[in-house]
Amino acid sequence: MTTVRREAFGRMPPEKGGEEVEKFVLQSDSVRVEILSFGCIITTLETKDRDGKFSDIVLGFDTLEGYTGKHPFFGTVVGRVANRIANGKFSVDGKEYQLFINNGPNSLHGGAKGFDKVLWSAEVLPNGVRFFRLSPDGEEGYPGDLKVWVTYTLSGRELAIKYQAQTSKTTPISLTNHSYFNLAGQGSRDIYDHQISIEADSYLPVDDTQIPTGEVAAVQGTGFDLRQPVELGRHLQKFHLDGFDHNFCLHQGQDRRLVARVFHPPTGRTMEVHTTQPGIQFYTGNFLDGSLKGKGAATYPKHSAFCLETQNWPDAVNKPHFPNALLHPGEEYNHTTWLVFNTA
């Protein structure tokens, strides 16, 4: 049985409209999650350890001011296109589009004001909440009026995030949630004692601006082979890696499949990621630097959290041999990701 509660969380600053931001609390016997109408942000996600004790396992802020200020997309839904588009450029039907450049020479996570920085309208469901917004034609340089729905539902130990969209003109789209996890509890120093596995035979090498080179490389015999669980700290040392910020190529298909699993031996917490998406970006918080004051005055140093962002492959709109990134009028973009929490 899931209960759903809605309450006020704060107001947008006057220069950003001054509207009220709501918080939605979804609670089952084993999971409690709080989500904002601003950016569809997961601000809190509490799960049990093997002794039955709840801890909040996502990074974030106590107040709205943290989220309206500059931060590395804690808990947000990002779009229209998650990840990077090379030089912020792409062509559709012979027309070139130029996006806002906000990450070196590239466009990242939707541009200057992506889906993470806007208010969504909300509808309470029996076991969750559905958010909606219309992204107007030309917003951040993207073509077409895009109607977007993001639905969070909680059932027992499983949090489902469903993304749907329809467009008036052909447009690239790739939506994801950018939560930062630490199964020891948010504010814990690092994630080196976490064990991770990712069901992927290949990954995408990147250039020095984090854009995929176009090669689809086999993981076999490399530090990117995570098909069997590895302890993260030891694995990074063994392969002399500074961390991960790479797309892993998943087995293609529209059906739900298990794509990643994380286990934290000291607490017994496990998290499984299931999805219909073609890729998953594994990111180990390499750009966290301890400068942000998070929940309960915690600081978040490098490698103090990981992200597992289910999505299309980065820069797919410019790489014809990558999975299709375009949504056409009359079609529906429809993907779901499930996070399943257990103890071992």
Cα dihedral 119, 330, 273, 85 sign = negative
Full pLDDT tens readout for the chain, 344 residues: 999 999 999 999 998 889 999 999 999 999 999 999 999 999 999 999 999 999 999 999 999 999 999 999 999 999 999 999 999 999 999 999 999 998 889 999 999 899 999 999 999 999 999 999 999 999 999 999 999 999 999 999 999 999 999 999 999 999 999 999 999 999 999 999 999 999 999 999 999 999 999 999 999 999 999 999 999 999 999 999 999 999 999 998 879 999 999 999 999 999 999 999 999 999 999 999 999 999 999 999 999 999 999 999 999 999 999 999 999 999 999 999 999 999 99
- Structure tokens, 91: 């062509």
Omega before residue 234 within 30° of 0, cis: no
DSSP state of 75: T
DSSP state of 297: G
Question: Is 324 marked as a binding-site residue?
Answer: no
Question: Is 121 marked as a binding-site residue?
Answer: no
Instruction: Tell me how far apart the alpha carbons of residues 225 and 248 are, in angstroms, rounded to a whole number.
Output: 10
Distances in Å between the Cα of 229 and the Cα atoms of 25, 179, 252, 260 are: 33, 21, 22, 10
Closest CA to 42 of 305, 258, 220, 249: 305
Structural domains of the chain ordered from first start = 3-193+279-343 (2.70.98.10)
Query: What pLDDT does residue 289 have?
Result: 96
Query: What pLDDT does residue 90 have?
Result: 96
What Rg, from alpha-carbon coordinates, does the chain have? 19
Q: Is 66 helix (H, G, I), strand (E, B) or coil?
A: helix
Contacts with 54 (C-beta within 8 Å, 6 or more apart), sequence order: 32, 46, 47, 48
Instruction: Tell me how far apart the alpha carbons of residues 86 and 115 are, in angstroms, rounded to a whole number.
Output: 19
Note whether 277 and 324 are within 8 A (CB). Answer: no
Instruction: Tell me how far apart the alpha carbons of residues 169 and 142 are, in angstroms, rounded to a whole number.
Output: 10
Question: Is 83 marked as a binding-site residue?
Answer: yes
Instruction: Tell me how far apart the alpha carbons of residues 85 and 314 are, in angstroms, rounded to a whole number.
Output: 7
- Structure tokens, 78: 């990002």
Question: Is 286 marked as a binding-site residue?
Answer: no
Question: Is 109 marked as a binding-site residue?
Answer: no
Instruction: Tell me how far apart the alpha carbons of residues 242 and 251 are, in angstroms, rounded to a whole number.
Output: 27
Question: What pTM was computed for the model?
Answer: 0.97
Point out the residues that are catalytic: 178, 309
Query: What pLDDT does residue 252 have?
Result: 84
Cα dihedral 65, 69, 74, 76 sign = positive
Query: What pLDDT does residue 187 have?
Result: 96
Residue 66 buriedness (CB in 10 A; 0-12 / 13-18 / 19+): middle
Question: Is 127 marked as a binding-site residue?
Answer: no
